[in-house]
Amino acid sequence: STTEKPVLLNNIADAEAFVSGAEVAVIGFFQDPQSPEAEQFRLAAGQVPEVPFGLSSSAAVLSHYGASASTVALFRTVDKDRRDLDMSNRDVDAKKLTRFVRMNELRLVTEYDPVTAIGVMQSSLEFNLLLITDKMSPKHPERMRKFRAAAELYKGKILFILLDSNLKSNERVVSYFQLKKSQLPALAIFHTPDDQHDVLTPDEISIERVQDFCNRFL
């Protein structure tokens, strides 16, 4: 995309529209937009093309979000959460900032891997629904479409997670739910406070099946 990253947010209305317009949005609050911290922020913005980055040095915007100067805030709609990173610490560079975004960018459907796992664990949502499936399967795009459509219905209630059964790092999760490859795709729902869970191995994923499974468990 040829759009300038990050987007300059000059007033509260711009900032609110920016946050509500994306599943995950990042805003850098900098009193001095030319500071070394702001420079690192711009570098990070270029490294995470799929997440919108905004920058504001407006005193009104900073005060509206209760942000101190040199703070980066990540907003996510899936659990209406916000995560802040203090950039005034000289140790925080573009690399650390990129990791902070990658770790916390929970989406409508979050793909589980060692980096996103940290954000998943820290989510304020107590219910997680996993779709454990082979991403290489020709049926994968259609499964994902239905899983995403179901995720829309449980926004703010259940965190929907995609777990690729081909990844070696995911084998432990698959065995935790006592599943064999031959039983996939499978749905596993999990209540984090007490580890209660339930597993379903449907012949095929449909929105109704996902709904039925979630409602029964809830």
SS3 state of residue 181: helix
CATH code of the region 7-104: 3.40.30.10
pLDDT band at 34 (very low <50, low <70, confident <90, very high): very high
Distance between CA atoms of residues 188 and 130, nearest Å: 5
Give the pairing type, strands 53-56 and 7-8: parallel
Burial call 162-179: b when 16+ CB within 10 Å, e when fewer? bbbbeeeebeebbeebeb
Task: Identify which of 59, 79, 77 has the alpha carbon closest to the alpha carbon of residue 18.
Answer: 77
Q: What is the pLDDT of residue 64?
A: 97
Domain with CATH 3.40.30.10 in the chain: 7-104, 109-217
What percent of the chain has pLDDT above 70? 98
Q: What is the pLDDT of residue 2?
A: 42
How confident is the prediction for the chain on average, in pLDDT? 93
Q: Which 8-state DSSP code applies to residue 168?
A: G
CATH number for 109-217 (one of 3.40.50.1100, 3.40.30.10, 3.20.20.100, 3.40.50.2300): it is: 3.40.30.10
Taking residues 91-113, report their average pLDDT.
92
